[in-house]
Amino acid sequence: MCLCEVLSMAAYGCYPALLPLLRDDWAMSNGTAGWISSAFFIGYVGGVPILTGATDRIDARKVYLGCLGLIAAATAGFALLAQGPWSAGLLQALAGAGFAGTYMPGLKILSDHVRGPRASRAIACYTACFSLGAGVSLWIAGLVAAAGGWSAAFWAAGLSAAAALVLGIFLVPRTDPPPLPEGVRVRPWWLPPDFRPVLRNRRAIAYTFAYGGHCWEMFGLRSWLVAFLVHAGSAVAVASSLGGAIIASGIITSFLGNEMAMRMGRRRWVTCAMLLTAVAAALTAALAGAPLLAVVAAVALYNLLVMADSASLTAGAIAESDPAVRGAAMALHALLGFGGAILSPLVFGLVLDGAGGETDPLGWGAGFAVLAMGGLAGLALFRRIGSDGPPPAVTISSDDRGNG
């Protein structure tokens, strides 16, 4: 599952790695360039309620494999058909919809097959590989684009997703949906799930809101990282390699953060990690006009800290959810979390334009300040909604029309 995740994510980092090149080639503003990044997450959020929610009602393997094929087709389509912001945004949205049917459904397949004491570390491994896949995708996209142009980078990413599909066909296990309580009517799989049983679980929802703040920072940073390094004085090919290494390093703190959460308690660790992340964002904003070495150090620290609570947030939401509605819980977790990912790249680009543009350190500082505010908002909701007491009983009544 982790190998398939890394291979399929080659498509994820292509556009952020090549944003400076495409922005100049297509004469786009920073706001428009940020919108194309956001389009990926618009597709994700549009697809995730149906695709992840469906795993409570049909074999998750079918959803997973079909969406790997969609990622491969959309990414190759970008190489072949993208000619400007609108076509690029549409193809990015299709790739994002494919990602909606692989990331969380893949995590559900994993959590359904790995139980007991190993479950938390298995989830941490899977979520940590998100950083590895994102970093490798930026690195490879920059290298391939330097040798053969931006379209070659998207062709390579499409082939990588196709390799994940072939691997998944042979190795991903069948995962039948769990039985639902007697008397509960189930909606067809292609309709969104009923989120009411999930929303009644305040402890699970608290982790989901915190995940929204986490995604706001993480995807805002990743969407603009290469462009920020170019602003600091790096060449595009070097910036993509640096950015890939920085993002891939998050696998370290994702693992360590999960271990810390197991020792300190998840709520306490999430609070500490999110506060430290806000400090790192403020430091990055303050150093926006500094020499390249200082900028690299600042964004590397920021990335390490932004990943420190990633596994804990997802593991917490899964642990607090009712197994009968786990697919719906994970769909809502992804829906609210990646809702922040839609807005942050766009807002960052608009703030950058409004505060002086890509040549002005003030604009970059303002952009990173906006990322910090989103993360702190997620932390505030986490502390406000969650409870240290025992988790509430989560029941599914016939009035809920079941998990669907």
Cα 360 from Cα 187, distance rounded (Å): 53
pTM above 0.85, yes or no: no
Which three-class secondary structure state does DSSP give residue 117?
Answer: coil
Does residue 363 sit within a domain? yes
Cα 155 from Cα 18, distance rounded (Å): 14
Cα 175 from Cα 89, distance rounded (Å): 33
Give the residue from 222, 275, 223 showing the smallest Cα distance to 247. 222
Does residue 10 sit within a domain? yes
Q: What is the mean pLDDT of residues 222-227?
A: 89
> pLDDT digit string (tens) for 272-326?
999 999 999 999 999 998 999 999 999 999 999 999 988 888 888 878 877 777 7
Query: What is the per-residue pLDDT for 182?
Result: 54
How many beta carbons lie within 10 A of that of residue 400, not counting itself? 18
Query: What is the per-residue pLDDT for 397?
Result: 40
> pLDDT digit string (tens) for 343-371?
888 899 899 998 888 888 999 999 999 99
Cα 41 from Cα 161, distance rounded (Å): 18
Cα 349 from Cα 330, distance rounded (Å): 29
Whether the per-residue pLDDT at 179 is higher than 80: the answer is no
Whether the per-residue pLDDT at 192 is higher than 70: the answer is no
Per DSSP, which regions of 282-387 are E strands? Answer: none
Per the CB < 8 A criterion, the answer to whether 379 and 275 are in contact is: yes
Does residue 78 sit within a domain? yes
Tell me the pLDDT band of 402, cut-offs 50, 70 and 90: very low
Per the CB < 8 A criterion, the answer to whether 109 and 173 are in contact is: yes
More confident residue, 350 or 194: 350
Whether the per-residue pLDDT at 14 is higher than 80: the answer is yes
Tell me the pLDDT band of 266, cut-offs 50, 70 and 90: confident
Q: How many domains does the chain have?
A: 1
Number of H helices, E strands in the chain: 17, 0
Q: In the structure encoding, which two tokens stand for residue 403, read together? A: 């998990």
Query: What is the per-residue pLDDT for 48?
Result: 80
Tell me the pLDDT band of 229, cut-offs 50, 70 and 90: very high
Does residue 196 sit within a domain? no
Could you list the residue range(s) of the whole structural domain that residue 354 is in?
2-173+202-386
Which three-class secondary structure state does DSSP give residue 402?
Answer: coil
The CATH number linked to 307 is 1.20.1250.20
Those residues whose C-beta lies under 8 Å from the C-beta of residue 3, and which sit 6 or more positions away, are 164, 167
Does residue 100 sit within a domain? yes
Share of the chain above pLDDT 70, in %: 90
Amino acid 262 reads M
Per the CB < 8 A criterion, the answer to whether 367 and 352 are in contact is: yes
Does residue 402 sit within a domain? no
Query: What is the per-residue pLDDT for 168?
Result: 92
Does residue 213 sit within a domain? yes
Does residue 298 sit within a domain? yes
Those residues whose C-beta lies under 8 Å from the C-beta of residue 288, and which sit 6 or more positions away, are 228, 295, 361, 362, 364, 365, 368
Residue spans of alpha helices (H) in 149-195 = 150-171
Taken in order 318, 321, 324, 328, is the CA torsion positive or negative?
Answer: negative
